[in-house]
Structures are given as C-alpha cells and as structure tokens.
A and B are shown apart, each in its own frame.
Chain A
Amino acid sequence: MRQLAIWNNLSLTSREAIYGYLFILPWLFGFLTLRFGPMLASLFLSFTEYDILSPPVFVGIANYVTMFTDDPSFWDALRVTLTYAVFAVPIGMMLSLAIALLLNQNVPGIALWRTIYYLPSVVSGVAVAMLWVWLFHSQFGLINLALSTIGIDGPAWLSDPDWALSALVIMSFWTIGGGMVINLAGLQGIPTELYEAASLDGANAWHRFWSVTLPMMSPVLFFNLIMGVIETFQYFTNAFVMTNGGPGRATLFYNLYLFQNAFRFYKMGYASALAWVMLLIILALTLVIFKSSPYWVYYESLRKK
C-alpha cells in the first residue's frame, strides 16, 4: 500500500519516464553487458599485457608508447587505411550519386534497374571476395581481359604491391548500391518547384545540378561521408580473404592488423590499445567533418531568414 501511495504521488511525467525505461530495459541490458561492459574491459586491457591464456599484467601506457614509437606496422596499417579512405569514399560517393541521378527517372522498368544496381550491396562476405580474386586474376580474370581489348596489359593486381590496394578500391565500388538507394531517397525529396524556378531563370542542366541538386543533397552526402569513413576503419573481410594484408604490408588494413595482434599473436592488450586509438581517430575525423559541415551542408530548417 505504501508503494502504491508513492506511485500515485508521482507526476504523470515521472510515471511515463519510468515506463519508458522499463520498455528499453532489454536493450539497455544488452547494451551494458554486450557493448559498454566489454568496451570498459577493453579500455582496462589496453593498459595490460594479456594473452587470454594467463591473467593480464598491468603495464601502464607501454602499449600506446610502443604503438607510436616502435611499431612500423601500426603506421603502415594507418597509411593503408587512410589511403583507401581518400580514394574509395569520395569516388564511391560520386558514383553512387551519379547512378542515383540516372535512376531518378520516371521511365518504364526503372524499378528493375534500381534492383539490379542495389543487389550487389546485399551480397557480401567471403564468397564475393573469392569471386573478385578470380576477376582480378592476371591471366584470365575478366578485368585484365577487358583491359586487353583496349590494348592495356593489366597488372598482377593482388600479387603486385603497387596495385593490390587499388584492386580493393575498385572492388569497393561493387557495393555503391547501398549509397545509391539513400541518394535516391534524397533526390526524390527535392521539391520540383526549385527546378522549375531555376529553369525559368535560365539555368541549364549543370546549373540545376550544381545550384539545386547538390545543396539540397548535401545533408545526405554528409551522412554518407561519415558512414563511409567509419566503414573504412572497419574494413576487414576482403583484405583478410583476398590478400591477408600482403603482398608485404600493401593491404594491411588497420582492422586486420588489430585482428592479427589479438587472435594470431595473442596480444590482446596491444590489440585493445589499437582499438581505442582507432576509436579516437574515427572520432577526430568525424569531428573534423562535422566542423566543416556549416561550410557545405545546407539545412532548409536552418536557412537564415
């Protein structure tokens, strides 16, 4: 009865809040035990030497010092990942926007074309990686075969240190369908009267794209840019299956290097330190993108009156 009295004395707002927390309790439990808890454990382990098989030994910031001063593989992995990001993300965004523009037409059969372009992005994993190993084969892969028809002698893509990363960048365009769908939704949200007004003012197709489409699409591009950067640092499967970081360290992505330290060398402490540095790098890059957004991202709701 006392509890009922306490409950009845609560305001409606308070009671609604309690109900809200109760409903999100399953998710909250999962988040705390499967995400936040392991994150805290990982932070602790990053200050230890831990090989899973014996208890962790506290070593202070030794892992971080080693990473920045005595581990050339760390810098190689960072270089490879950032190089991949510099090429794969913007080119992928441009391609997905271009495809979305083409598919933003009201013609018969357009739904079929949209499906065709989107399908590769839902097919992923090891099977696709093996497929691309065959496509990149230097002697009978389809890519070099196509290049040979225009007189170009294609390289040994995956076994040439100078071309292996380029091969993975090219492969990344296989999945532009995901970004294409998001861009398509953004394009269809642009009011048509803006295009009509631009046409009345004498704007040609390029002017309409540059002055109407791009600004109105900038929030979507902003989202795709941030997601692209984050996904780059999580890049793993293709490098693991197709090249395992080689030849040399030409395709040693950051996440792959982290995996090797954790599960091949049993250096869980060092791998945890790598993971936290990765988080900080992604945070920093995301902050930079956010800070730059006022200069190029247009929000209708924030338009100055």
Chain B
Amino acid sequence: MTARRISRRSFLHLSAAATAGAILAGCAAAVAPAEGGSEAAPAAEGITLRLWHWDNFMADPWLNEGKIFSETHPEITVVAEMTPYGEYSQKIAATIAGGTPPDVAGTIAEHFTTMAGNGQLTDIAPYIERDNYDIEDWHPGNLSQNSWDSVLLSLPYTADGMWWFYQIETFQEKGLKTPYEYWKEGNWTWDTAADLAAQLTTGEGMDKVFGSGNVSYGNYFEILPYMASAGGEFFDSAYTKAVINEAPSSNAYQWAYSMRQYAPGPDDAQAGTPQSGRVMQWLDWSPYYQVYLDQMPFKYSVAPPPASPDTNTHVFCGDAPGFGILKGAARPDDSWAFIAHLMSPEALERVFLVTNAEPPRMSMATDVELWRKNEKLPEPEVAYELTAARFQAFYNTPKVSNWLEMWQAHNEELSLAWAEEQTLEAALDKIVDRINGLLGEADIDQDQLYWTGA
C-alpha cells in the first residue's frame, strides 16, 4: 500500500482549520460568570478570605491574626493582598466592576466617600445587632467617618492622627524648649513653632538645615486640622459653598504659607527628608513613631500639632481607617466574622504591640498600662498622652463624593501660590470658585461628626 503524502497546501489548510477550531473552543470555555460572589461558597472545600489593604507593615500582623482566626475557623484561610496606596482605589473599583471584590476591604476617608456614595459597602449594623457587638467602645466621631447617611459601613481598626515629630538632641544642644514642653505649659502654638523653626534653620545649599518640615497644603490631613484649630471650616454649615478664603479658615493657610521659608522646597523632596537628618521638626502619622525606629539615625520625640494662637486648641486629623464588606463579596458572614476577630481587644492589642496602630476602642486607647506594655515605643507615656488628647479634639474630613476632584483644584491653585505665581489670597479665591462649581455635582453626607476642643 502506498503511503499518502499530504501536500504543503493541504497541510496549511488543515492547520488553519485547526487553529480556527481551537480559538472557537477556547472562547466557549473562557466565559466567566458575570457576577462574583453570587454563588455559594463551597462547603466541603477550604475557604480563602482575601483581605485588601495598602500598608505593607500591617500585612504580617494581620496574617498572624488570620492564623489565630483559623484555629477557631479551620475551614478559613486568610490571605493579605497589599496594594500601594496610590493604586488602591483604582484596583478596588476594578474588582467591584469585575465582580471579584475582596472579602475584607480596607477603607479610608479618601475613597470611602466614593465607595459609600455609590452604595458599594454593606451595612454592617445588622451584624452588630445580631452579635450584640460592643460598638459603644468606639468613639462616635470615628464611627461617623465610617458611616454614610447614618448607616455604618465599615468598622475602624485604628484611629490615628498626625503627630509633630522633632529631633530631641538638636533642641537640647541648642538649649531650646521642646514642642512637648511648650505643649505641657500650654504655649505650643503656631507662633512658637515658627519661632523654633527660625532658630533651627541654618546654612545654605546642601548644608542647609530646615527648621521645619512643610505644613503641606497638599495633604488634607495636615492642613484641615490647622484650619479647625483656628475655628474655621472648609464648607459652610449647609454645604452651599467653600469658605476657606475667609477668616478664620484662611488663617491656617496664611500660617502654612509663612512656614515655607523654613521648610524644604519641592526640589528638596529627595534630599530634604526627615530621614536625612536635615529637618528638625515635621508632621507625620502616629504609627510612624514606631516605624521610624529603624529609619532615623537620631533620637526623636513627639508632640501634638501646634495650635492656633487664637484658640490654643490642638486639633488632630480624625482619620479612622477601617474594614468593610464590599457588595458582591462572596462570603459576607465569614468576612464579618474575621472583622469582628480583628476588632477584638486581644487582636487589637497584639497588632498594637507590633505596629503602634492605636486601638480604636476608647477603653484600650486610654489605658496607659497598655501603652507601657509596648516596649518598641521610645516614650510610651508620651504616645499615650497624645492619643488621649486626640480623643478630645479631632477633625473629620468632609464626606463629599467628588472630594478628590475638589482637592485637585485646591492643590493646583496653591502650588502656583507656593511658586509665587499668584498671591495666596488669589489662590484661595480661585479654589473657592472651582470647588463651588463642583459642589453641585456632589453627593454629600452632611453628618461630619467631629470634635474641636473639649
């Protein structure tokens, strides 16, 4: 029998047909379910709970809590998927749109309003009622930041603030009273901060030592508490217009503007960092009190942000990042079970002792013995004092759905003022005009519960 040979043309014909068939078969197999989370979790197989967050230094402590949680929930394995903060909100939005939201989602003011305003977070009040959860241990102001239209949508895992850091040894060498000492005697104000900055600023060029870090207009957690300290507000009480161009709100911007002369400029962003040792005092998040231990080649301490000399009220930013359950999460009951575990006093204490993430429970945050237990803190009693002070006066950022767009306009105009391309007054007027135009498009939760002064 003669073997049949396949001609080159026939081979090409067959290859083309096979390729087309493979593609069509692949298309049929690749159709994914349109909604995520609508199918029931497999009962017999293990469950993986995905926790999403942005702070890498919190990953290990939470994974450790996941292991502890698994001891009582052996079918559940917790995995932490950390995303850089700058990309977090986009990725969360993509997972929601794609129907594969994480089981436990970190929330923070910047994107909470977007998610909450669009109904993407699950009301957790039914869980709290069902489990008779001790929600009274949370400060109502912190709960307010995690609520929308009076519906609690996420539970804060911490309630931190920005503290004023300073290099202790430099102050001692120069015989200067420290910000903490000024605070204790009731005289830690914008004026004393500026006076210290003036005395501490020396040198030129690469030898320059900066008496202060920037009082940054770009970070609303920095500038808004100063505005509140001055007795001001961002919007009027009815949210019809922005009022930052009017006293006393504008006083905070005036002070921030005047502090530029002592602070690193935009060009000093690389070489003028606190870690460089060239900045004598600066504002940063409270957890960094512990994180800085590995980064700073000098001894540092902390004080509250300086107060407006008109009110002498120290206001902290009221940031209370939390965990929530996104709509479409596959296993909301398991998600809540893990969140409840994370918020238990035992878990909060374990995480606090490793990361200095202040417990959101007032009973714990105001327990000086707990702070003394944290051997990693340079001065635990000072940290305790600041936390106790924060509960007396903090400012929650406004809950406006297009807050980021407003803040973009805010930063664009102020960057021109800082570059002396326009006056500060003109910048504030333009910001108000632009923001007033955006107010009409916004969803607003006017329940902005915060404290400014005991």
User: Is A249 engaged at the interface, CB distance under 8 Å to the other chain?
Assistant: yes
Contact at A260–B408, with CB atoms within 8 Å? yes
Contact at B421–A22, with CB atoms within 8 Å? no
Give the nearest-CB partner of A51 in chain B: B118
User: Is A113 engaged at the interface, CB distance under 8 Å to the other chain?
Assistant: no
Assuming A25-B20, A134-B270, is B119 touching A54 (CB within 8 A)?
yes
Which of B13, B205, B270, B416 is the one whose CB lies under 8 Å from A248?
B416
| 1/0 contact string of B32-69 vs chain A (CB within 8 Å) | 00000000000000000000000000000000000000
Contact at A159–B20, with CB atoms within 8 Å? no
User: Is B266 engaged at the interface, CB distance under 8 Å to the other chain?
Assistant: yes
Give the nearest-CB partner of A164 in chain B: B419
User: Is B93 engaged at the interface, CB distance under 8 Å to the other chain?
Assistant: yes
Assuming A139-B206, A249-B412, is B93 touching A53 (CB within 8 A)?
yes
Q: Closest Cβ of chain A: how far from B215's Cβ, in Å? A: 17
B interface, size bucket: 35 or more
User: Is B96 engaged at the interface, CB distance under 8 Å to the other chain?
Assistant: yes
Contact at A246–B412, with CB atoms within 8 Å? yes
Stretch at the interface among A37-45, A87-95, A262-270: A262-270
Contact at A248–B415, with CB atoms within 8 Å? yes
Contact at B404–A52, with CB atoms within 8 Å? no
Chain A 250-287 interface residues, beta-carbon cutoff 8 Å to B: 260, 263-267
User: Is A158 engaged at the interface, CB distance under 8 Å to the other chain?
Assistant: yes
Assuming A26-B23, A247-B419, is B93 touching A156 (CB within 8 A)?
no
User: Is A137 engaged at the interface, CB distance under 8 Å to the other chain?
Assistant: yes
Contact at B405–A265, with CB atoms within 8 Å? yes
User: Is B413 engaged at the interface, CB distance under 8 Å to the other chain?
Assistant: yes
The prevalent SS among residues of B at the interface is helix
Contact at A156–B265, with CB atoms within 8 Å? yes
Contact at A140–B404, with CB atoms within 8 Å? no
Q: Closest Cβ of chain A: how far from B413's Cβ, in Å? A: 7
Chain A 92-150 interface residues, beta-carbon cutoff 8 Å to B: 133-134, 137-140
Chain A residues with CB under 8 Å of B114's CB are 51, 53, 266
**Bound-complex Cα distance A137 to B205 (A):** 12
Chain A residues with CB under 8 Å of B402's CB are 265
Assuming A53-B114, A249-B412, is B270 touching A19 (CB within 8 A)?
no
User: Is A23 engaged at the interface, CB distance under 8 Å to the other chain?
Assistant: yes
User: Is A153 engaged at the interface, CB distance under 8 Å to the other chain?
Assistant: no
Contact at A53–B416, with CB atoms within 8 Å? no
Contact at B419–A53, with CB atoms within 8 Å? no
Assuming A139-B205, A161-B421, A249-B412, is B267 touching A25 (CB within 8 A)?
no
Contact at B412–A248, with CB atoms within 8 Å? yes
**Bound-complex Cα distance A16 to B185 (A):** 92
User: Is A160 engaged at the interface, CB distance under 8 Å to the other chain?
Assistant: yes
Q: Closest Cβ of chain B: how far from A144's Cβ, in Å? A: 10
Q: Closest Cβ of chain A: how far from B265's Cβ, in Å? A: 7
Contact at B408–A156, with CB atoms within 8 Å? no
Which of A52, A54, A138, A246 is the one whose CB lies under 8 Å from B267?
A138
**Bound-complex Cα distance A264 to B86 (A):** 10
Q: Closest Cβ of chain B: how far from A145's Cβ, in Å? A: 12
Contact at A19–B12, with CB atoms within 8 Å? yes
Interface centre among B19, B96, B271, B412 (most CB of A within 10 A): B412
| 1/0 contact string of A219-255 vs chain B (CB within 8 Å) | 0000000000000000000000000011111000000
Give the nearest-CB partner of A259 in chain B: B90
Contact at B16–A23, with CB atoms within 8 Å? yes
Chain A 36-76 interface residues, beta-carbon cutoff 8 Å to B: 51-54
User: Is B315 engaged at the interface, CB distance under 8 Å to the other chain?
Assistant: no
Contact at B96–A29, with CB atoms within 8 Å? no
User: Is B97 engaged at the interface, CB distance under 8 Å to the other chain?
Assistant: yes
| 1/0 contact string of B165-209 vs chain A (CB within 8 Å) | 000000000000000000000000000000000000000011000
**Bound-complex Cα distance A264 to B419 (A):** 25
**Bound-complex Cα distance A51 to B404 (A):** 14
Contact at B266–A248, with CB atoms within 8 Å? no
| 1/0 contact string of B104-128 vs chain A (CB within 8 Å) | 0000000000110011100000000
| 1/0 contact string of B416-432 vs chain A (CB within 8 Å) | 10110100000000000
Chain A residues with CB under 8 Å of B12's CB are 19
User: Is B6 engaged at the interface, CB distance under 8 Å to the other chain?
Assistant: no
**Bound-complex Cα distance A25 to B205 (A):** 63
**Bound-complex Cα distance A161 to B419 (A):** 8
| 1/0 contact string of B266-288 vs chain A (CB within 8 Å) | 11001100000000000000000
Chain A residues with CB under 8 Å of B93's CB are 52-53, 266
22 contacts between A and B (CB under 8 A): A19-B12, A22-B19, A25-B23, A29-B23, A51-B118, A52-B96, A53-B115, A54-B119, A137-B267, A140-B271, A156-B267, A159-B265, A161-B421, A246-B412, A247-B418, A247-B419, A248-B416, A249-B412, A260-B408, A264-B404, A266-B93, A267-B405
Task: Using CB atoms and an 8 Å cutoff, list the residues of chain A in contact with chain B.
Answer: 19, 22-23, 25-26, 29, 51-54, 133-134, 137-140, 156, 158-162, 245-249, 260, 263-267
Extra contacts, 4 of them, besides A51-B114, A245-B412 (Cβ < 8 A), are A53-B114, A53-B118, A247-B416, A260-B408
Q: Top 7 closest A-B pairs, CB basis? A: A159-B266, A22-B16, A53-B118, A248-B416, A247-B415, A265-B405, A138-B267
Task: Using CB atoms and an 8 Å cutoff, list the residues of chain B in contact with chain A.
Answer: 12-13, 16-17, 19-20, 23, 27, 90, 93-94, 96-97, 114-115, 118-120, 205-206, 265-267, 270-271, 402, 404-405, 408, 411-413, 415-416, 418-419, 421
